Amino acid sequence: MRLVFYVCLLLALGFNCAHAQTKTEELPADKITIVLADGPLLVDEVTEDADGYWYKRGNISTFLARARVIRIEPPKPPAEERAAEDVVEGKGKWKLADAGKIEEFFRGKFKRPLPLSAFGQSDLHTRWGWDHRNGMDVGLHPDSAEGRALIDFLRAEAIPFLAFRGAVPGVATGPFILIINRPPRISGR
């Protein structure tokens, strides 16, 4: 009888904990959300590997198979912060020769290379009519922990950038951080 009581108690506690995770109206802004078929899971960190995702909550790391994960959403800053202008005009001029300073910061902080999606002019920039010879695209969502840290560094160093949260036709293919002096259109376009 006592065993049945403890089993029922454990099941009830487990249900309540799982149920609490599925409430979406109270998601804290500083947590990463792993969206699963049966609801969101709030975590402190997520690391992807070949078979799926490792997530960390407190001091516990747990593995999730790739098939269970619908998407991963970065932390969302408060609405007033997201509405703020994401353009900073740096003092002096930015040049690609200064890229090492940014790469050094990122590698030192996150122990991995800066995820560059374009370094200088690319065919896409030419096709869209942008002069990108002195710019670099960093493949980070500006609201992710890494994106926010990079933006803080760029602001502290007065390095000009533009941050995109999603695709903008003819300008951005998706979320990324563009480090560049305000890019002019190529003449004649």
The three-state DSSP-derived secondary structure of the chain is CHHHHHHHHHHHHHHHHHHHHHCCCCCCCCCEEEEECCEEEEECEEEEECCEEEEEECCEEEEEEHHHEEEEECCCCCHHHHCCCCCECCCCCCCHHHHHHHHHHHHHHHCCCCCEEEECCCHHHHHHCECCCCCEEECCCCCCHHHHHHHHHHHHCCCCEEEECCCECCCECCCEEEECCCCCECCCC
- pLDDT per residue as tens digits for the range 30-65: 678 888 888 888 888 888 888 888 988 888 889 999
Q: What are the structural domain ranges in the chain?
A: 2-73, 80-179
List the chain pLDDT tens, one digit each, 189 residues. 555 544 444 444 443 333 333 333 344 556 788 888 888 888 888 888 888 889 888 888 899 998 898 888 877 655 544 444 444 444 556 778 888 899 999 999 999 999 988 888 888 878 878 787 778 899 999 889 899 999 999 888 888 888 888 887 777 778 888 888 765 555 444
